Structure 1
Amino acid sequence: MADRPHPTAPLAAVVAPASGTRPKQLYFAGLVLGYTLLVAISALEMVLQPQFLAALGLIAVTTALALTVRWDSRPLAWAALIPVLDIAGVALLRDHMREVSMSPSLLALIPVMWLSGRLRRTGVLISLLAVTLAISVPSLVRGGELDSMILAHALLLPLTVLQIGLLTVGALDLLDRRSERLQEIVAERETVIDEIDASAQLLQSILDTVDVGIVVVDAEGHDLLMNARQRRIHALAIPPDNPDPNEAELLLRYPGTALPIPAEERPVRRAVLQESFSNYLVAMGPLGEDGTAFSASARQILDRNGERAGAVVVFSDVTSYLEMVRSQEQFVASVSHELRTPLTSVIGYLELTQDDLDLSKETAGYLQVAHRNAEQLLVIVEDLLQDQVSRSGAEKLVLRPARLSDIAAHSVESFALRAEEAGIDLISELQPTPEMPLDAARMQQAVDNLLSNAVKYTRRGGTVTVATGMVEGHAELRVTDTGIGMTAQEQTNLFADFYRTETARNSDIPGHGIGLSLTRRIVVSHNGQISVRSQPGIGSTFRIRLAVE
């Protein structure tokens, strides 16, 4: 279907300053015809006078010339012919009706503006000369004796024409300058857009060559950029029966388990929630398969005003690394198991030796130091063994009805004496929680680990608070201390295996970085969540949440 002309196209041609001879002339001829019809209604005899008819005839001839000659293809000087002839026609009308009305003079302003727009200052000069010669000079000649009134009357129209012409030229010059500036701005923007497109293409090409998955999201969580590697990684997490899943439907789970990762704890979601983290392990693929393991890290993006603009999340394939780690863990487990039996024997014989009353005080002191270190070594070996058992899944959960608040109460009772000896105020704020399926022994170990760390990293005179209760349909346990605290970066790695914060490493506080990773696995195996909030020098709060069925 052919394109239809826009309804405003004829009007645009009429007002266009540099073209449109035919539309302009038709518009002018239409005004003259309308004026003629109005005059004919009341004074037909005036319209039928030869001079009036001559004026109409001249305008008709001018219109015919405008319609038949291709004026826009002729030299610019020819553009003055049609409006000058129109001014001559207006002069005939005005002269014929001078005794009745001077209003026909106003019709001359249309070709004047036409000339001023087409030829600018030259057009103003031509208009002034045409109006003066065709209208003002005949008025002076017929006026008889020249006086100031006749002169003022004759010069009024040329001066008006001059003013309108100059205003028209000035307005068009201003529009031209603005148009040129606008074109420069458009050209600059097009150049910038081309450079941005080239940079974006270059960036995409570079990112596609990287062997890690990269996804960039905006402040609302919408994907802005994803490299080829990330698209392949994302495909691993798509369910077979759902080609367009949302974040909660992706097949993401904790490595080595069949437990799906809650939506709010998934890497991209955590990044959208303004978290920065490193080395967050996830497995992708259908349940029942080993899947591929990835280490996810996220950093927040700030704009030039320091406001958050989004986040970037990086996924690295660590499947082969984890397999190597499992081999190392098996080795550690074997060695630890072999160490436990002789260590137990050594401790037993040290205890028997210490019971000898004939020992000198100095020798007894040596034996006491050896006994203490042997027991500490046995504790480390036991922790390593328990950690390996937890990782391998060899020890299954024994779920029986139990209350999280009761488990917390047992921990508080167990650590009361240690806290008192350390000069720490242990506060208990335990609200009853409902019974739920729990492996009480394993959960007791998790809570004990949290309470042990809280007492260990809190200075004398500080406080440790243990609280339980129901929050948003979950049984919750909180352990809050006024200890040394941690930085945001330290919190991101806190649950990693064998990780200890820099402050802990630089202090005399013992530890080997197993407790919290073990605690996390125990909580996750119960389909629970564990989190931490901390500030350096102020303290930390660890929170365990378990869904109540």
Structure 2
Amino acid sequence: MQGASESPDPWLLTLQHSPIGMAMVGLDGRLLMVNPAMSEMLGYDVEQLTQRGFQELTHPDDLDADLALFEQTLAGDIDSYRLRKRYLHADGHVVWGDLSVALVRGPEGDPLHFISQVLDITAAERERQSLEAIFETVTVGLLLIGPDGRYERMNCRHQETMQLPFPDGHEGEAGQLGHVFHLDGHRRMEREDMPSYRATAGEEFDDYTYWVGDDPATRRAFSTSARQVRGPSGEPLGAALAYQDITDLMRAMKVKDEFVSSVSHELRTPLTSVLGYLELLHDNGTLADDARAQVQVVRRNALRLQALVSDLLQVGQVQEGRLRLQYAEADLTAVVQDAAEASRSLASRHGVEIGVEAPDRVVARVDEQRVRQVLDNLLSNAVKYTGTEGEVSVVLREEPDSVVIEVSDTGIGIPADEVDQVFGRFFRGSGALEQHIPGTGLGLDIVSSIVAAHGGELSLESEVGRGSTFRVCLPRGPA
């Protein structure tokens, strides 16, 4: 039986079998003992390493910091230290190590030697440097916020833009107010609206758009996205935000909208004159039947052009913030029934049935003309996208503080990846394009604007080949 005095030294066992580089270092820095892991990490055999000091194995740029901590420990100012530093491999390449050093003292407190542990972090360091390079070179502003709302880090791109909204400096805390405006360029953002505050509160969002800067001539527009950062157990660690400068895009969109509005205004006057003379021609009793039919074709197409111009003008009003609602009490049951009746002529030509389900009377304080416009657009779309022998239904129902209107069809449906785009200006779905269904892509944008102006909500459920349901929820009175 092996005696206790013959038992292997636990320190030597740990040294030899540790996967981490370990060494016993003399007070002069010479390596007295090293393990195989250290030998493998630096490319020298054990004997070669024990003939060297850590000074000649350390990268020159990191040596002064290591020596300073080494001397402080030897002097008794500190007991141990930790340092991320570079070593020189036997073949000349750099090895990054996470170094931990502790001084071993004798019974009387005299320093005997140092124990060093070195974790090879070369791969991790390269990845960190790569991420650092990406972090600093992307054209998007990046910001990391801690769970307490304090700014922890930002890249140079974001740092460059901070002066515009915060000319007096930033305190590094989420929700600080500055020259930050909503999209109308007039209303300053409150603390709860600031993207940094929303992200700190746990929100995640995309394309949150606003203007920054006190001077309208030099303002910049930004689109911001936020994601929560969580630990391995799901614990909140903060939030990451990305800021994209979209000033050029916003100004280009404004120029486009101004152009569309200007052209629409210019078209309206001559078009009104054309329609007036077409009415006179149509009513002229001396006109031959074939000429009258030709005038009717021209008149029908002129009316289509007038509807398009009206839609463009409506879009321009929304964009310029000039969409005003005229509130009054209205019986929505009557509005729904009138809209359905007006659409039945078009529906019959397409072989589509329109059904209405509504209480006898539903009164709400709304802009009746605008609500009728919403219904006309939704019904027109439903009929166009529903095949022969299809059905369109309008359901009106009351809820405690609102009224809900649903327009459903049994038409071609909308692909899932297009549902979020259908309310965008000029958007035409793939089904409409493939089947050459006429349209401008403005109707649903107008519907969305009118519902939003009422303080309501508009949603869509659709399945390809089964049909779609547009749901409009309006408050009973002005929002």
Q: When the two structures are superposed, what TM-score results if normalisation uses the length of structure 2?
A: 0.59
**Separation of aligned partners in 2, 1:357 and 1:521:** 44
1:397 deviates by 2.0
Describe the shift of the 1:214–1:522 C-alpha distance in structure 2 as closer, same or farther (beyond 3 A): farther
**Separation of aligned partners in 2, 1:257 and 1:410:** 40
Instruction: Please name the residue that 1:205 is paired with.
Output: 136
**Separation of aligned partners in 1, 2:162 and 2:355:** 47
Q: Does 1:414 align with 2:342?
A: yes
Q: Does 1:425 align with 2:353?
A: yes
**Separation of aligned partners in 1, 2:339 and 2:131:** 57
**Separation of aligned partners in 2, 1:224 and 1:323:** 33
Counterpart pick for 1:352 among 275, 280, 283: 280
CA contact (8 A) 1:292 1:317 kept: yes
Instruction: Please name the residue that 1:535 is paired with.
Output: 463
Counterpart pick for 1:283 among 210, 213, 216: 210
**Separation of aligned partners in 2, 1:351 and 1:465:** 35
**Superposed CA offset, 1:481-511 (max 9, x none):** 2322223443333232222223323333221
Counterpart pick for 1:326 among 227, 235, 254: 254
Matches within 5 A, 1:67-106: none
**Superposed CA offset, 1:282-314 (max 9, x none):** 3346999897544568999xxxxxxxxxx9986
Unaligned 5+ runs, structure 2:
23-36, 42-97, 99-117, 146-150, 229-238
**Superposed CA offset, 1:455-500 (max 9, x none):** 2222222232323335685433332323222234433332322222
Matches within 5 A, 1:252-401: 253=182, 255=184, 282-284=209-211, 293-295=221-223, 315-356=243-284, 359-401=287-329
**Separation of aligned partners in 1, 2:389 and 2:119:** 67
Q: Does 1:467 align with 2:395?
A: yes
SS in 2 for 1:459: coil
The amino acid of 1:201's aligned partner reads E
The amino acid of 1:282's aligned partner reads T
Instruction: Please name the residue that 2:107 is paired with.
Output: none
Q: Does 1:502 align with 2:393?
A: no
**Separation of aligned partners in 2, 1:235 and 1:243:** 13
Instruction: Please name the residue that 2:4 is paired with.
Output: 113
CA contact (8 A) 1:411 1:444 kept: yes
**Separation of aligned partners in 2, 1:461 and 1:232:** 61
Instruction: Please name the residue that 1:15 is paired with.
Output: none
1:379 deviates by 1.6
The sequence identity of aligned pairs, in percent, is 31
Instruction: Please name the residue that 1:146 is paired with.
Output: none
Describe the shift of the 1:486–1:360 C-alpha distance in structure 2 as closer, same or farther (beyond 3 A): same
The amino acid of 1:283's aligned partner reads Y
Bigger proportion of residues as helix: 1
Unaligned 5+ runs, structure 1:
1-107, 119-167, 218-222, 301-310
1:181 deviates by 7.8
**Separation of aligned partners in 2, 1:434 and 1:296:** 42
**Superposed CA offset, 1:299-331 (max 9, x none):** 99xxxxxxxxxx998654344544444344344
Matches within 5 A, 1:123-272: 179-180=18-19, 190-207=121-138, 210=139, 212-213=140-141, 227=155, 229=157, 253=182, 255=184
Bigger proportion of residues as strand: 2
**Separation of aligned partners in 2, 1:190 and 1:225:** 23
**Separation of aligned partners in 1, 2:398 and 2:160:** 41
1:233 deviates by 7.1
Describe the shift of the 1:533–1:182 C-alpha distance in structure 2 as closer, same or farther (beyond 3 A): farther
Instruction: Please name the residue that 1:29 is paired with.
Output: none
Q: Does 1:511 align with 2:350?
A: no
1:204 deviates by 1.0
**Separation of aligned partners in 1, 2:253 and 2:330:** 35
**Separation of aligned partners in 2, 1:495 and 1:374:** 26
Instruction: Please name the residue that 1:546 is paired with.
Output: 474
**Superposed CA offset, 1:63-113 (max 9, x none):** xxxxxxxxxxxxxxxxxxxxxxxxxxxxxxxxxxxxxxxxxxxxx96xx13
1:543 deviates by 2.6
Describe the shift of the 1:476–1:356 C-alpha distance in structure 2 as closer, same or farther (beyond 3 A): closer
Instruction: Please name the residue that 1:147 is paired with.
Output: none
Number of aligned positions between the proteins: 369
Aligned alpha-carbon RMSD (Å): 5.3
Q: When the two structures are superposed, what TM-score results if normalisation uses the length of structure 1?
A: 0.52
**Separation of aligned partners in 1, 2:6 and 2:448:** 87
